[in-house]
Structure 1
């Protein structure tokens, strides 16, 4: 695993140096939109809804749509004026009973690994959390935006789990459930009997993603049957190269301005770097990603074919 954040947990007067790792990964089956005739990837253009013209990245800004449908365009200067946090501190605000945190509020999960110098205070915090049977409510700045989170212990490791804000949870408003309707005593007794008959412990390995396995088997069978499209690589668009060069030039110009303007400009440059880097990577990927995507697709299908052949050999034996 690769650390995505490095900082420290503030525990009273104790600081615990830690590294943050994503605790989960998504294994959902991903499909590409392709041309049914030749298997070519479908590309999308950035087109303005008003004049119908394609818009380069250099002309794209952030817009906020108001409740009445009006659009407010925000400049880079506007974005820099917004409050942002670059602190590398996970500040413990209070310790709360675990049952007071509704699971609906849980968002993303991360593992916290201590630095060598912080092993002892890390273990102290971990053991204190387990003994108190509470979660530590913390504030943390991940990607410059402050968020609420909790610290809890799982399998001897401290887990940071970000929380949704209270107003991000929708209120269920279902007219069909507004009436005071309850099950009869006989219905409840039968339901309780069914619950008892199906009761058991949760075993994660007991369940499998049969859809993903079915997709792999289907793809492997088509590869073995030669049903593979070898679409030619699409020609790179010159406009994307121009956009990339323009983005690089702006980066150079702003870097020079930051050196000339002192530490304040440097901080602004650092705050803006992630979004600019993302835009540059997107532009670069438009011109270079296709051959790599094909290579990856071939490797995946060959791997799936080998997996299917191995299963067939085991069954035959």
Structure 2
């Protein structure tokens, strides 16, 4: 793994040099968008609405507008903020582990000692473990001041980002407040059902069925020859401005909307899995695909070009046969 940040944990007069590594990775198949008529790649362009030119990323600044005025913030402006320069994970308090609400937790990072003498790191880790306390911290990462916690996982400390209090919405649902009469017999039966499903949690027992089925679908299409030459999907035609600026989606705005719509506790932003393009074990994938054929059925129902119609009909026929079996 490659370190994404280096600094130190500071509490009192103790300073613990550390490096941060992404603790999670995305295992989703990497998909992109194409034109349904000819398979050509669809790409987002960073284009200036004023001059119409495509702008390289290094020439883009951030800005804020209040509806009437716009304030442009350069990289130099952002770097001048005191919090941005901080390379410390500042411990502000220690709290009992059960006082941290999981809804506030975000992305996790492994912290490894960054010193020839890791004694201070080991001391803090062991102290957190034996006292059963969680360290609440403040730190700066990627131009944001963040709240977080330090906790122990195995032999390492984990830094986990947290939402600020005003970022967590209040749950106010009238239907949830409605009092329902629950009889002792209903409660007894419910407890008995829960007991049947009670066991120790083993994460390795679970797999992402959708991704398994998606890989299976891709593999079957490749076997049937229902694929395009990748080189043919890259366009060589005129990509100049046609005046239809409304169709050009600004990448930063698209990302902002995606984050706003998909924001969940403990989700994300880091590296992608190195093996997302590799198909899973054939036997396991086929078994999972047979359990939920509806996913493949939906995928096969997408629009097909005349060139792909025959292969698509073959895929649909096999799917229908498998479902009937």
TM > 0.5: yes
Counterpart-to-counterpart distance in 1, 2:180 and 2:233: 63
Q: Match for residue 25 of structure 1?
A: 25
Change (3 A) 1:307 1:132: closer
- 1:310 Cα deviation after fit: 12
Counterpart-to-counterpart distance in 2, 1:236 and 1:3: 41
Q: Match for residue 174 of structure 1?
A: 173
Kept after mapping to 2: 8 A contact 1:8/1:88: yes
Q: Match for residue 57 of structure 1?
A: 55
How many residue pairs match? The answer is 249
Q: Deviations over 1:153-184 (max 9, x none)?
A: 00121000011000100111212123233523
Change (3 A) 1:100 1:117: same
Q: Match for residue 101 of structure 2?
A: 102
Change (3 A) 1:165 1:118: farther
> How do 1:182-261 and structure 2 match up within 5 A?
182-230=181-229, 231-235=232-236
Q: Pairwise CA RMSD of aligned residues?
A: 3.4
Counterpart-to-counterpart distance in 2, 1:161 and 1:155: 15
> How do 1:1-317 and structure 2 match up within 5 A?
1-46=1-46, 54=52, 56-57=54-55, 62-64=62-64, 70=67, 72-76=69-73, 79-80=77-78, 84-230=83-229, 231-235=232-236, 303-304=278-279, 308=282
Change (3 A) 1:75 1:136: same
Q: Which moved more, 1:175-184 or 1:12-21?
A: 175-184
Contiguous gaps of at least 5 residues in structure 1: 241-277, 280-298, 313-317
Kept after mapping to 2: 8 A contact 1:3/1:21: yes
- 1:74 Cα deviation after fit: 2.1
Kept after mapping to 1: 8 A contact 2:48/2:54: no
Counterpart-to-counterpart distance in 2, 1:159 and 1:207: 23
Change (3 A) 1:82 1:88: closer
Kept after mapping to 2: 8 A contact 1:17/1:115: yes
- 1:143 Cα deviation after fit: 2.0
Counterpart-to-counterpart distance in 2, 1:128 and 1:236: 64
Counterpart-to-counterpart distance in 1, 2:185 and 2:68: 57
- Aligned-partner SS, 1:218: helix
Q: Which has the higher contact order (CA 8 A, sep 6+)?
A: 2
